[in-house]
């Protein structure tokens, strides 16, 4: 039996909330109860963004020259040795804070070996929010002490006994993957979507807990109209609008942002650089109704599931699993050797914040995992799979 879960986003809770530790206890209890004699192993694959090393107020107080994207020489795409040691130190501190905050949940994962009578293997495929784990000098020891022995697999994990290839999927997102460099998504997360609520909290500390919910808004650009439509009090709205303007101005002043825009600003209307610039600049000045219209336009350029389906078709396995989008999904890709091929998105265990067509927002808790079986485990002629997706609105 092989199980895939993704996008847990364990964090230090300075900017967002964590999945309840009870979810992991219930999950393992259910899996234990469903074990059959035919199951000779349990492979658990964490398909990216297990830890969130970006969403933390910690980064706001870090010296600008010690951030991964702002160090000396970053205009040329390289770090100095001194800068690298600085940001590695910061990453380690954030990981330590995450571990302390999620001790109960992580200990439940660690004890999986004791819970099951079959060998348990844990695989971690880094995503865009935890790919920096390997920058931490003793990360493997830290993970072993926290969740037990875990194997880190870069890129894709393949297991043909189960007929599956598993990636996080950020590789196919222009904002969250930069071959050989730092993606602009890292900077967006910290310098826009961490810094903005930080500014607001400084002036309106009573909103600190409420603002933690914006981490779960997808796509992240909808944070702007979420704030506009959720907070209607004049004084609160004034603080929010001023904070948006200040945050966006600061973002565009960063050397790495200027470098990234110059690199990606090709001779093509509405390329990635254009979209980023237009959306953020206009968000400062347009009324709520115009922001809604603008976001509808930009939604056409978001990476849709059809894009990931196209990428999945290029994989060789019977089943292809990505995470990243926080939205569970199943698609039929066609045939290979007379067998049906599928693309599956493993969703998330976090809350999801959704917008209606009229710009109103709601939230619900969600939990998705995918189980794959060898042929001999289910007595089938090909590897089988099942998907479990739960939603709770309370």
Residue 190 pLDDT exceeds 70: yes
Q: How far apart are CA 112 and CA 219, in angstroms?
A: 34
Q: Is the pTM for the entire model greater than 0.95?
A: no
Report residue 28's pLDDT band, with 50, 70 and 90 as the boundaries.
very high
Report residue 333's pLDDT band, with 50, 70 and 90 as the boundaries.
very high
Which part of the chain has CATH 3.60.21? Answer: 2-173+306-392
Phi, psi of 317 (to 5 degrees): -75, 165
Average pLDDT over every residue of 68-72: 74
Name residue, tokens 């808790």. Answer: 365
Compare 266 and 121 and report the one with higher pLDDT: 121
Q: How many CB atoms lie within 10 A of CB 281?
A: 13
Q: How far apart are CA 170 and CA 326, in angstroms?
A: 12
Give the single-character DSSP code of 51. Answer: B
> Is the CB of residue 58 less than 8 Å from the CB of residue 195?
no
Report residue 218's pLDDT band, with 50, 70 and 90 as the boundaries.
confident
Long-range contacts: 22-27, Cβ < 8 Å, 24+? Answer: 23/105, 23/349, 23/367, 24/105, 24/108, 24/109, 25/108, 27/367, 27/369
User: Tokens in use for 174?
Assistant: 């222009």
CA angle 30, 31, 36 (to 5 degrees): 120
Compare 260 and 148 and report the one with higher pLDDT: 148
Report residue 324's pLDDT band, with 50, 70 and 90 as the boundaries.
very high
Tell me what pLDDT residue 260 has: 80
Q: How far apart are CA 133 and CA 52, in angstroms?
A: 10
Average pLDDT over every residue of 337-343: 95
Q: Which of 25-39, 121-135, 220-234 has the lowest mean pLDDT?
A: 220-234
Phi, psi of 16 (to 5 degrees): -155, 170
pLDDT in tens, 273-317: 555 555 555 555 555 554 554 454 444 445 667 889 999 999 999
Q: How far apart are CA 364 and CA 319, in angstroms?
A: 28
Give the single-character DSSP code of 130. Answer: T
| Average confidence score pLDDT of the chain | 87
> Is the CB of residue 285 less than 8 Å from the CB of residue 211?
no
Tell me what pLDDT residue 301 has: 43
The percentage of the chain sitting over the pLDDT mark of 90, rounded to a whole number, equals 63
The percentage of the chain sitting over the pLDDT mark of 70, rounded to a whole number, equals 86
Ranges assigned E (strand) in 79-142:
120-124
Tell me what pLDDT residue 271 has: 52
Domain 2-173+306-392 of CATH type 3.30.70: no
Tell me what pLDDT residue 273 has: 55
Tell me what pLDDT residue 7 has: 97
pLDDT in tens, 81-128: 666 788 899 999 999 999 999 999 999 999 999 999 999 999 999 999
Phi, psi of 121 (to 5 degrees): -120, 130
Tell me what pLDDT residue 283 has: 56
């Amino acid at each position: 039996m092989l199980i895939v879960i993704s996008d847990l986003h364990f964090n230090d809770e300075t900017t967002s909330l964590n999945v309840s530790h009870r979810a992991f206890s219930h999950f393992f209890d259910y899996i234990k109860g469903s074990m059959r004699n035919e199951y000779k192993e349990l492979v658990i694959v964490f398909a990216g963004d297990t830890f969130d090393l970006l969403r933390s107020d910690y980064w706001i107080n870090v010296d600008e020259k010690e951030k991964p994207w702002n160090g000396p020489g970053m205009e040329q795409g390289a770090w100095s040795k001194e800068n690298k040691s600085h940001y590695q130190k910061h990453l380690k501190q954030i990981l330590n804070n995450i571990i302390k905050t999620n001790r109960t949940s992580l200990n439940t994962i660690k004890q999986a070996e004791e819970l099951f009578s079959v060998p348990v293997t844990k695989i971690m495929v880094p995503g865009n929010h935890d790919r920096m784990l390997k920058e931490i000098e003793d990360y493997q020891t830290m993970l072993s002490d926290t969740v037990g022995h875990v194997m880190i697999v870069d890129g894709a994990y393949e297991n043909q006994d189960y007929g599956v290839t598993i990636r996080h999927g950020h590789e196919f997102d222009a904002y969250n993957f930069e071959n050989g460099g730092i993606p602009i998504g890292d900077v967006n997360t910290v310098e826009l979507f961490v810094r903005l609520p930080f500014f607001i909290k400084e002036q309106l500390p009573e909103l600190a807990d409420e603002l933690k919910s914006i981490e779960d808004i997808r796509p992240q650009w909808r944070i702007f109209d979420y704030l506009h439509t959720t907070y209607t009090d004049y004084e609160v709205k004034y603080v929010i609008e001023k904070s948006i303007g200040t945050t966006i101005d600061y973002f565009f002043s960063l050397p790495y942002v200027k470098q990234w825009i110059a690199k990606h600003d090709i001779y093509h209307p509405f390329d990635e650089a254009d979209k980023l610039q237009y959306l953020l600049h206009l968000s400062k000045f347009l009324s709520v109704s115009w922001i809604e219209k603008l976001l509808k336009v930009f939604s056409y350029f978001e990476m849709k599931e059809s894009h990931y389906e196209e990428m999945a078709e290029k994989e060789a396995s019977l089943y292809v699993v990505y995470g990243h989008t926080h939205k569970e999904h199943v698609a039929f890709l066609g045939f290979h050797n007379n067998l049906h091929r599928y693309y599956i998105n493993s969703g998330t265990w976090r809350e999801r914040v959704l917008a209606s067509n009229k710009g109103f927002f709601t939230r619900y808790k969600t939990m998705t995992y995918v189980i794959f079986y060898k042929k001999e485990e289910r007595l089938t002629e090909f590897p089988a799979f099942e998907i479990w997706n739960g939603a709770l609105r309370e």
